[in-house]
Amino acid sequence: KFKWSKQKSEQERLMTAEINKLLDDSPLEKNVTCGFWLLRGAFFQRFANQTAYVVLYGLVGCIFSMTYAYFNGTITTIEKRFKIPSKNTGIISVGNDISQTLVSAVLAYYAGKGHRPRWIGFGLLTIVMFCLMTTSPHFLYGPGEDALSLTAEFGAIPVENASLEAIEEQRAKILCRLHGGGAECEEGEGNFAPQVLLFVAQFISGIGGSLYYTLGVSYMDDNTKKSKTPALLSLSYFLRMLGPAIGYALASFCLRLYIAPQLHPVINNKDPRWLGAWWLGWLVMGGLLAFSGVFLSMFPKELPRAAARRQVEEKRRRERLALQQKESNEKDKLSVELEAQTPAEPQASFKDMLRTFKRLTTNKTYMCNTLSNIFYLIGYTPFWIFTPKYIEVQYRQSAATSSMVTGTVALAFSAIGVLLSGFIISRYKPRARYMAAWNVIIAVLVVAGVVTYAFIGCPDNEQSVIVNIHDKALHEVATCNSACACDYVRYSPVCGENKMTYISACHAGCKGEHVNAAGKRIFYDCSCIPAGHNESYALDSFKRLTARDLADSAVPSTPYLEVSLLSLSFNLLLMLFALQLLSSGQAMPGACPVNCWTQFVAFLSVMCFLKFVGAAGRASNFLVSVRCVPEQDKTAAMGFGMMLCSMFAFIPGPIFFGWIFDRMCLVWGKTCTNKGNCWLYDPKSMRYTLNFTAAVFISLGALFDFGVWYYVKDLKIFDEEIKEVEMQIVQHEEEANPEKTTEI
């Protein structure tokens, strides 16, 4: 064993010296020349190495992944601006997956046989088009009348200067109105043309994304030593993982600016009518992608050092064949497998593409690995797309906190998992079967973690909401709010003095609103809320209105208080009337406070563990997937796998789990023509249904991971494993001819 190790080290030293000599003596050929047109020469040639490629490829991936995070961060603003229904938003968001399903396999096959960096540059050009097309609706249709009407330049008046009629009109939209005049329905549909533009933009981005991911990683693997691939792959993954955090930060910055930055709005960004500059970030990301894409496309068809290494290995292979042909010893099975002549790569054609895809579909290891990825992707869909919403619903955390957790805390653990696994694999070079076993273990741990999610609930949150929607078609008996006309009142939760949350002041039966000198709002005369005269029963932080508070109010807040104060004799009458109004319950804006911090920390701990474990399996999964297919099929295999994942995971996954979310909805909004968005979900049903369904899909993926472990067997992952086979051949020859010294 020591002799083998010594010979292996000597072999490495001699090969490195021979590669360096070949690089110094050989002239630059076209396929290893960096740059194009005027952008070529010695200055650019020095960057034709694996380190420069991995760093630039990772940075481009960082910007590319920013686009998806930025789109998710600004989609609600786009919906409000163009009045896009949520169901249409879902169709728009899967546009890139549809294009990947249609073209990724074919593009990967044909482009993989050409100049891959140039094809990647073309793909990045389509992503630049995606950025420009996404921002184009703003320049074609402008900020919109709703946004312009809230600016000083177009005659808007600040809230503090609004007339009493305007204040009363606003209150009519949230309070119970027994005699009509309540909230009216809103239109649910907007302009269809911007939606078409956004869908086409997403469709185009799928073409660029498939070229970037399939060609970029295969180019990296083909131009680096197999032992260095895990570390370099982990580095590129890490750089790409920074993208979502930066994308959400850019979205937050842009949305703080008004949609028309040159105008002066009379509202602030906390107002629900605020529309941020959603279009601005697309110009920034498009410019960065265009700039970096030029340099990425300048890389040669093959890196010089990788080309020299292949020439040296081919030369040694021919010398070894010639030497063994002179020997009379019969070659063993291992030698025959190693020394078989490599067939020439066929030209790209439709028939050869079909043969390639047939080879892939009959490759048991490859198909088991692909099916495992599909089920894993489906199972993890809700945690990629709906995690912020899940945290808001389950643990009553703010949207800012939810986004911060998913974009930063979870990212840190994913980054540690990726980098650590890449280092360990590069350092210890485990065999394929050990990597496949590790993937099985990861799948089992993920299933256990997802099942754990189902039992981390917040009882206070689940039992603190009262859903009292009166449907006249189903219930003829009058209820506390049946005459309040609350059908079109927006979801605006209020906290009753009985420590329960109601959908809105109207649904709580509140007919009056009082604003004190400090600007604090309190709803009163709420027929659905029992008066909290019992101090132990009432909300601790709630301070009830008194008759004096209403009598001292300068501006009456309900039509019931249309009482002249010209004479002091009316004060007594006013006090008596106020006492009558205050006999019912009261409420304050916002949901009742609940303490879910302990459960939230427990959920966060499990999520960070799963992020770490899941990221730790990325490198091993990729290495198995690209080593289990012939070298010439590698790029096509990645494209074919992307097509299958898009077709069976990325497109149906969000739709399926979106349907599950809709099934868990307790309160729907209404528009004039249709059902609107969901206001309130059932947290307990969501917690069980979502997590157990996800666990089932991930468990199916674990079964196929076990299939990969069964079929992978003697698959070689690293160059060192091939060289170990070579050393076995050398030892076999030395044992057969002990007097002969073999030169390598």
* Shared-domain flag, residues 143 and 256: yes
Does residue 700 sit within a domain? yes
Does residue 337 sit within a domain? no
Which domain does 713 fall in, by range?
A: 364-460+596-717
More confidently predicted of 331 and 271: 271
* Short-list 60, 128, 99, CA closest to 282: 128
* Shared-domain flag, residues 586 and 682: no
Mean of all residue pLDDT scores within the chain:
79
* Shared-domain flag, residues 240 and 389: no
Which tens digit of pLDDT belongs to each residue from 553-606? 644 444 444 444 444 455 655 566 667 667 788 898 888 888 888 999 899 899
Does residue 23 sit within a domain? no
DSSP 8-state class, residue 555: S
- pTM for the model: 0.75
Answer whether residue 542 shows pLDDT above 90: no
pLDDT computed for residue 403 by the predictor: 65
* Short-list 17, 13, 725, 596, CA closest to 335: 725
What does the pLDDT average to over 274-296? 92
Which tens digit of pLDDT belongs to each residue from 99-126? 888 888 888 888 888 889 999 999 999 9
The proportion of the chain whose per-residue pLDDT surpasses 90, expressed as a percent, equals 19
Long-range contacts of residues 442-446, Cβ cutoff 8 Å, at least 24 apart: 442/613, 442/614, 442/616, 442/617, 443/372, 443/376, 443/698, 443/699, 443/701, 443/702, 443/705, 444/702, 445/610, 445/613, 446/376, 446/380, 446/610, 446/613, 446/614, 446/698
Least confident of 161-170, 191-200, 370-379: 161-170
Does residue 259 sit within a domain? yes
What does the pLDDT average to over 243-247? 85
Q: What is the residue-wise DSSP string for 604-648? A: HHHHHHHHHHHHHTHHHHHHHHHHSS-GGGHHHHHHHHHHHHIII
- Side chain identity, residue 619: A
* Shared-domain flag, residues 370 and 251: no
Cα–Cα separations (whole angstroms), residue 310 to 26, 201, 301: 14, 41, 14
**Where a domain ends, among 306, 325, 354?**
306
pLDDT computed for residue 653 by the predictor: 85
What does the pLDDT average to over 624-628? 87
Question: Which residues contact residue 693 at a Cβ distance below 8 angstroms, ignoring those fewer than 6 apart?
Answer: 657, 660
Least confident of 194-203, 318-327, 497-506, 722-731: 722-731
- pLDDT band at 733; cut points 50, 70, 90: very low
pLDDT computed for residue 280 by the predictor: 94
pLDDT computed for residue 557 by the predictor: 46
Two tokens at 225?
């030593």
Chain length of the chain: 744
pLDDT computed for residue 554 by the predictor: 43
Q: 718 with 396: CB under 8 angstroms?
A: no
pLDDT computed for residue 279 by the predictor: 93
* Shared-domain flag, residues 579 and 647: no
What does the pLDDT average to over 164-190? 65
* Shared-domain flag, residues 128 and 247: yes
Does residue 742 sit within a domain? no
What does the pLDDT average to over 437-461? 93
Least confident of 214-223, 329-338, 666-675: 329-338
Nearest-5° Cα angle at 506, 501 to 512 = 105
* Short-list 125, 64, 72, CA closest to 285: 64
Does residue 42 sit within a domain? no
Two tokens at 710?
């069964």
* Shared-domain flag, residues 60 and 131: yes
* Shared-domain flag, residues 137 and 232: yes
Which tens digit of pLDDT belongs to each residue from 319-328? 777 777 765 4
What does the pLDDT average to over 30-42? 81
* Shared-domain flag, residues 374 and 412: yes
Side-chain-side CA neighbours of residue 653 (13 Å): 28
* Shared-domain flag, residues 579 and 632: no
* Shared-domain flag, residues 256 and 140: yes
The proportion of the chain whose per-residue pLDDT surpasses 70, expressed as a percent, equals 78
* Short-list 13, 226, 4, CA closest to 728: 4
Which tens digit of pLDDT belongs to each residue from 642-690? 889 988 998 888 878 878 877 888 887 666 666 656 777 888 998 999 9
Secondary structure string (H, E, C) spanning 112-135:
HCCCHHHHHHHHHHHHHHHHHHHH
pLDDT computed for residue 75 by the predictor: 81
Which tens digit of pLDDT belongs to each residue from 391-432? 878 888 765 567 667 767 777 788 888 888 888 888 888 888
Secondary structure string (H, E, C) spanning 152-213:
HHHCCCCHHHCCHHHHHHHHCCCCCCCCCCCCCCCCCCCCCHHHHHHHHHHHHHHHHHHHHH
Query: What gap in Å lies between CA 617 and CA 637, rounded to an integer?
Result: 19
Which tens digit of pLDDT belongs to each residue from 134-172? 999 999 988 888 788 888 887 665 545 555 565 666 677
- pLDDT band at 83; cut points 50, 70, 90: confident
Least confident of 11-25, 321-335, 615-629: 321-335
- pLDDT band at 68; cut points 50, 70, 90: confident
Where residue 428 sits, what CATH number does that domain have? Answer: 1.20.1250.20
Answer whether residue 724 shows pLDDT above 90: no
Number of domains within the chain: 3
More confidently predicted of 519 and 165: 519
H-helix or E-strand spanning residue 75? helix 50-82
Does residue 6 sit within a domain? no
Query: What gap in Å lies between CA 554 and CA 164, rounded to an integer?
Result: 12
- pLDDT band at 177; cut points 50, 70, 90: confident
H-helix or E-strand spanning residue 731? helix 719-736
DSSP 8-state class, residue 509: T
**Where a domain ends, among 290, 306, 322?**
306
Does residue 547 sit within a domain? no
* Shared-domain flag, residues 89 and 223: yes
* Short-list 597, 600, 552, 592, CA closest to 456: 600
DSSP 8-state class, residue 559: G
Answer whether residue 734 shows pLDDT above 80: no
